[in-house]
Amino acid sequence: MEAVKEITIWKDGTTSNHTYLLDGDKMVAYIKKDTTDPFYFKSPIKGFSRSGRKFETLKINPFNVDVTISSVTKVQGSKGNVYEVDKEAGTCTCPGYTYRGKCKHVEQD
């Protein structure tokens, strides 16, 4: 699992960034901006997308669960964009994985 804080700068200026507890592409919990209490979902929400958004991985875990170092690696896509690939979870932050649920980055050795 990974704790991340959203750092996206939104054009409308009214959208709030929150802190999330993720398990691959599943959102397990979140903490609303300017609060400290996590909200845990009964069942993880599948399909959490990082597309068009920016995040930073938190070194200090604000959630009351163990967050382990993940198997995430960064790869450069064919157009120069950098994506995060988790071989263990079989996920990627590239548009191909976001829309099709598979991509060459996950399938590569």
Ramachandran assignment for 47, one of left (phi > 0), alpha (psi -120 to 50 degrees), beta (any other):
left
Give the tens place of pLDDT for each residue, 63-91: 766 555 456 778 888 888 888 888 777 88
Phi, psi (deg, nearest 5) at residue 98: -60, -40
Cβ proximity of 22 and 30 under 8 Å: no
The confidence score (pLDDT) of residue 66 equals: 57
How confident is residue 6, by pLDDT bands cut at 50, 70 and 90?
Answer: very high
11-16: average pLDDT: 82
Give the tens place of pLDDT for each residue, 22-56: 888 889 899 999 888 899 888 888 888 888 889 99
Vertex 57 angle, CA 54 and 62, to 5°: 120
Domain ranges of the chain: 1-65, 71-109
Gap between the Cα atoms of 97 and 8, Å rounded = 20
pTM of the entire structure?
Answer: 0.56
| Strand-strand pairing, 26-31 and 19-23 | antiparallel
